[in-house]
Amino acid sequence: MAADLNTPGSEIEQRYLELLKDLRQQVTIPINMKLSPAFSSVANMAKQLEDAGASGVALFNRFYQPDINIDNLRLVSSLHTSVSAESLLTMRWIAILHGRTTLSLGATGGVHTAEDAIKLLLAGADVVHICSLLLEQGPSALGQVLTGIKAWMEEKGFDSIDEVRGRVSQISVPHPAEFERANYVHILDSFRSGPGVF
């Protein structure tokens, strides 16, 4: 999408919807749309896509920004793989959408360990995508993630992924506001600086 000062967000939303409608006329297979995390209302965008006939959404597309080399003052294009912390943004939106939409919810971005995948399943993801981990460690890493998920399920007494899915989504937790920005002040209050920092 062009970073154009004259393009309103509504026009970008409309492009996604038009793309979906065009695709639906061409194919009969289910269509899942991968969304940017930068929509002003991710949940509403998902609802619009659901109403327009999407089968699912994948949250989120990971954009690769150019970097700047401060020695030669040039742009550098290099691939930075993700880190686990990136999955928390996805986790929050999956948790908010779970149980409120018929869309299949795919989680993508920052899944490197069984723990990352488990959190996204608990939030309500139907599927978890993995890319950076495979690039870094090869296909055998998938086995480790799977083994970790199975061990955790056994430890917690879960027999199936269905029992896990959405257990910690927004509609399931005792304090749904913890997924909202209102929790910001509480989070800031809980921060502790390193030793010697006042």
Ligand X SMILES: Cc1cc2nc3c(=O)[nH]c(=O)nc-3n(C[C@H](O)[C@H](O)[C@H](O)COP(=O)(O)O)c2cc1C
CB closer to ligand X out of 57 and 111: 111
Please say whether the beta carbons of 115 and 148 come within 8 A.
Answer: yes
Shortest distance (Å) from residue 131 CB to ligand X: 3
Residues of the shown chain interacting with ligand X in the complex, contacts defined by CB under 6 A:
34, 61-62, 79, 82, 108-111, 129-132, 135
Please say whether the beta carbons of 65 and 89 come within 8 A.
Answer: no
CB closer to ligand X out of 82 and 101: 82
For 9, phi and psi rounded to 5 degrees? -55, -35
Give the Cβ contact number of residue 41 at 10 Å: 11
Shortest distance (Å) from residue 121 CB to ligand X: 15
Letter string b/e over residues 11-36, b meaning 16 or more CB atoms within 10 A of that residue's CB:
ebbeebbeebeeeeeeeeeebbbebe
CB closer to ligand X out of 135 and 171: 135
CB closer to ligand X out of 32 and 169: 32
Shortest distance (Å) from residue 126 CB to ligand X: 15
Shortest distance (Å) from residue 197 CB to ligand X: 31
Structure tokens at 35: 């969304």
CB closer to ligand X out of 107 and 164: 107
Distance linking the first and last C-alpha atoms of the chain: 44
Shortest distance (Å) from residue 184 CB to ligand X: 25
- CB contact set of 172 (below 8 Å; sequence gap of 6+): 99, 166
CB closer to ligand X out of 46 and 158: 46
